[in-house]
Amino acid sequence: MPDTLVTAAILVIGDEILSGRTKDKNIGAIADRLTETGIDLREVRIVPDEQAEIVAAVNALRARYTYLFTTGGIGPTHDDITADSVAAAFGVGIDVDERARAMLLERIKPEDLNEARLRMARIPFGADLIANPISKAPGFRIGNVFVMAGVPQIMNAMLDEIVPTLTSNAPVISRTLEAANTPEGTFAGALALIAKAHASVSIGSYPSMTPQGFLNRIVVRGRDAAAVEAAATAVEAMLAGLTR
Amino acid sequence: MPDTLVTAAILVIGDEILSGRTKDKNIGAIADRLTETGIDLREVRIVPDEQAEIVAAVNALRARYTYLFTTGGIGPTHDDITADSVAAAFGVGIDVDERARAMLLERIKPEDLNEARLRMARIPFGADLIANPISKAPGFRIGNVFVMAGVPQIMNAMLDEIVPTLTSNAPVISRTLEAANTPEGTFAGALALIAKAHASVSIGSYPSMTPQGFLNRIVVRGRDAAAVEAAATAVEAMLAGLTR
């Protein structure tokens, strides 16, 4: 376990997400994996397929967080500009990488490896490759930035390879308490006092609507099991008191 | 139609999205509505329930885009800090708003309107309210920032009220052409040439995986119907040539 908190950000690259045509599934999937691993996801951004926007976001996020994960824009078409943009963000060159070309040749016949497909082997200088067991075109890691595919099945396969290499914190322990048909406003005052008394944990209250009415979930999260348990017990007692 | 492009950003506020516990549905819903309306969504950020993070993101995004839409953090519990954070971002005061209190009293009995519930009537000075037909606690608009609930049903109801008030561009016209079982690498070179020849439209290629294999969709988007049609016709002819 490191001395300081290991943090992360996600950068989703793609006009199709901003237009609504494609509904992102990668943010939730990466968030789940990072939480399981004990890494704090602190920020997410979605930007269009424009180099200046990608460069600015990569540089802002890689400077601020331990890790940055990007998704999208590493295919063979003209709108796939992530690799070139990341190279520009790091101020390094980029060219066809022989390791990446060899990976592509595992799936593509040499006579079919045209200029467009070779774009998928363009890797910034100094980067390590991330294998793609599904369609072979690799992602890459440069510095603290992991560049992954946007297709969810491929992104998840790349994440399987990346996660074991990450430094992580002690995992966050979480306890969820349900308050069905009890409006948040009934317990919000008491919950605020519990949150204040148990400042080493984070306590969130999350309303959702079900056909049966509002369902509130109170989630206690923290890295110290005893502290989480103590706060959860206090919330439980408070909720039980409401229905007396 | 305005002279310059009307743009927008979304700011999702919530630890529960960053932890993966809740999967966001609002980004896609807002993106769809903006696209229908002819407003260009240019950026999305997700930040935690921390005032400094919310203030920084609100100020960065409201300065840069025509409109900013926020979701989450306007309930009665201690972790609902969006209204106070937006007031801080604008440098204005905040207090219980009598119009908002009256809205809450449409649903909550006066004796049940405790301090926690009154938090939902705290509105930055100078803001206009956004009605909430579902649970009454309003959102608000201040400057070019629209502050909405995080619960999707309520967020969508607020959006219904907001959208007719927005200035918009001519809507974007979009044509989608499918290339089933034709790898992107086969047509990427030809597509890049078409994109260059039809520079007034944007052409994206979006691969997805189905049980039958890769399915690529090529999307031509633009505000000039004739230009979109011309580019789509060129893409169609190019794809037809591949299967000859």
Q: ipTM score of the complex?
A: 0.91
Across the interface, do B191 and A45 touch by the CB < 8 Å criterion? Answer: no
Chain B interface, best mutation among A35, A44, A158, by max B CB count within 10 A: A44
- As a whole-number percent, the residues of chain A with pLDDT over 70 amount to 98
Assess whether pLDDT exceeds 80 at residue A8.
yes
Q: What part of B 125-184 touches A (C-beta under 8 Å)?
A: 134-135, 151, 153-154, 172, 174, 184
pLDDT digits (tens, 9 = 90+) for A41-54: 999 999 999 999 99
Give which of A32, A103, A89, A100 is closest to A57, Cα–Cα. A89
Name residues 66-85 of chain A within 8 A of B (Cβ): 75-79
Residue B186, both tokens: 């086969």
Q: What is the pLDDT of residue B243?
A: 61
For chain A, give the percent of residues with pLDDT over 90: 88
Strand partners, A205: A218
DSSP class per residue in A202-234? EEEEEEEEETTEEEEEEEEEES-HHHHHHHHHH
Whole-angstrom distance, CA of residue A106 vs CA of residue A100: 10
Min Cα–Cα distance to chain B from A20, Å: 5
- CB of B185 within 8 Å of a chain A CB? The answer is yes
The answer to whether residue B223 neighbours chain A at the CB level (below 8 Å) is: no
Residue B202 and residue A15: Cβ atoms within 8 Å? Answer: yes
| Probe site for chain B from A16, A36, A46 (most B CB atoms < 10 A) | A46
Residues of A in contact with B114 (CB under 8 A): 185, 188-189
User: If you compute the radius of gyration of chain B from its CA atoms, what whole number of angstroms results?
Assistant: 22
CB atoms within 10 A of CB B169: 17
Q: How large is the average pLDDT for residues A197-226?
A: 91
Are A53 and B43 an interchain contact pair (Cβ–Cβ within 8 Å)? yes
**Which residue did the predictor score with more confidence, A210 or A51?**
A51
Q: What is the pLDDT of residues B143-167, one digit of tens each?
A: 999 999 999 999 999 999 999 999 9
Task: Report residue B244's pLDDT band, with 50, 70 and 90 as the boundaries.
Answer: very low
